[in-house]
């Protein structure tokens, strides 16, 4: 689907309600899907959040409930994206699903008092909005099940750079590099909840965007980029500037959010899938050639995976 950047302004105020999350049967297995399929989920669920100060971040739609003839949606993002005092915010949604003629993202003005809920002790926030349009819903996964080497994907809207001068959704692949919550030197709740590190490329503006596992489930919210810790202006022994990113990035595990979920009144229609991951692909062999000389060609085929979503000014340099 081609993204059209013409925007339609909508202004609203929303009152949210609590609905217990839907738990998917953990007895079944989640199948790894192609990266392009995870990318499709990102296109349908990742949002951009802009501030009146000119800054912006990202977020992901995780829930939906009905209110009359309208839908109430819930977005998960990083708190530092929406916590600047005396600042107004607006949301740029994905392209709606329920209109064959609608090919535009929708702009919605947010009321920080009624639409934004900052979660305690961690750098995470819940944002709500109301719309008559239908948007896809991301599925929350089990961040406790991913470990070092697990493939993950990060999606968000980075600020323009030298070559990429327009705002566009970026989707990058990488792997889990460390679980800081398992470190003896990292007490639970430390570092504002940033306990999962990975190797994906990220840039400023992608804060609040989702970290997906290989099945397309949201297992973390991205928000920090590790940097060299020398004094400003100092260079490392390798000549790298002190403020350059190391290549490691950090997110808040989704299990941290779920532990805080009973304290929030802003969670609507959330779906959680904690089923174990099955990375195995089936092997098929095909023999080709003449009767005297045969060549065996091996190829991989992917097992069918069930759909994983429902369709009916920040000064800290560590932040992206």
Bridge partner residues of 128 (DSSP): 74
* pLDDT of the residue at 23: 62
Listed residue (94, 84, 80) closest to 157, CA to CA: 94
> In angstroms, how far is CA 176 from the centroid of its own chain?
15
Structural domains of the chain ordered from first start: 4-25+40-140+259-272 (no CATH), 143-255 (2.40.10.10)
* pLDDT of the residue at 99: 63
Q: Environment class of residue 196 by beta-carbon count within 10 Å: exposed (0-12), middle (13-18) or buried (19+)?
A: buried
* pLDDT of the residue at 240: 46
At CB < 8 A and 24+ separation, what contacts does 302-306 make? 302/31, 302/32, 302/33, 302/34, 303/31, 303/278, 304/31, 305/30, 305/31, 305/32, 305/33, 305/37, 305/215, 306/31
The count of other CB atoms within 10 Å of the CB of residue 68 is: 8
* pLDDT of the residue at 268: 64
What is the model's pTM? Answer: 0.75
* pLDDT of the residue at 289: 41
What's the pLDDT tens digit per position in 129-174?
999 889 999 999 999 999 999 999 999 999 877 787 788 899 999 9
Listed residue (114, 116, 135) closest to 124, CA to CA: 116
Distance in angstroms (rounded) separating the CA atoms of residues 134 and 98 = 5
Bridge partner residues of 272 (DSSP): 23, 140
* Ranges of the chain with pLDDT below 70: 1-27, 99-102, 182-190, 227-243, 246, 262-268, 280-320
* pLDDT of the residue at 70: 82
* pLDDT of the residue at 178: 92
């Amino acid at each position: 689907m081609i993204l059209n950047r013409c925007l339609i302004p909508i202004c609203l105020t929303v009152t949210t309600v609590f609905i217990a999350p839907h738990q998917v049967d953990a007895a079944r297995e989640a199948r790894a899907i192609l990266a392009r399929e995870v990318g499709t989920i990102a296109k349908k669920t990742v949002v951009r959040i802009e501030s009146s100060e000119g800054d912006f971040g990202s977020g992901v739609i995780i829930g939906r409930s009905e209110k009359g003839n309208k839908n109430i949606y819930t977005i998960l993002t990083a708190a530092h994206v929406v916590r600047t005092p005396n600042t107004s915010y607006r949301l740029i949604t994905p392209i709606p699903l329920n209109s064959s003629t609608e090919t535009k993202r929708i702009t919605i003005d947010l009321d920080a008092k009624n639409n934004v809920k900052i979660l305690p002790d961690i750098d995470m926030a819940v944002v709500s909005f109301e719309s008559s349009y239908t948007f896809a819903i991301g599925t929350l996964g089990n961040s406790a099940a991913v470990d070092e080497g697990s493939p993950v994907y990060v999606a968000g809207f980075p600020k323009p750079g030298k070559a990429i001068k327009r705002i566009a959704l970026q989707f990058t692949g990488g792997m889990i590099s460390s679980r800081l919550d398992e470190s003896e030197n990292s007490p639970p709740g430390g570092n504002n909840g940033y306990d999962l590190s990975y190797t994906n490329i990220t840039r400023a503006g992608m804060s609040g965007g989702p970290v997906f596992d290989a099945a397309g489930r949201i297992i973390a919210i991205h928000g920090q980029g590790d940097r060299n810790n020398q004094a400003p202006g100092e260079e490392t022994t390798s000549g790298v500037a002190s403020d350059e990113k190391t290549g490691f990035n950090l997110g808040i595990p989704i299990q941290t959010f779920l532990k805080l979920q009973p304290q929030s009144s802003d969670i609507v229609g959330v779906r959680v899938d904690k089923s174990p991951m099955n990375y195995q692909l089936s092997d098929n062999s095909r023999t080709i050639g003449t009767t005297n000389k045969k060549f065996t060609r091996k190829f991989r085929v992917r097992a069918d995976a069930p759909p994983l979503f429902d369709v009916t000014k920040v000064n800290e340099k560590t932040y992206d």
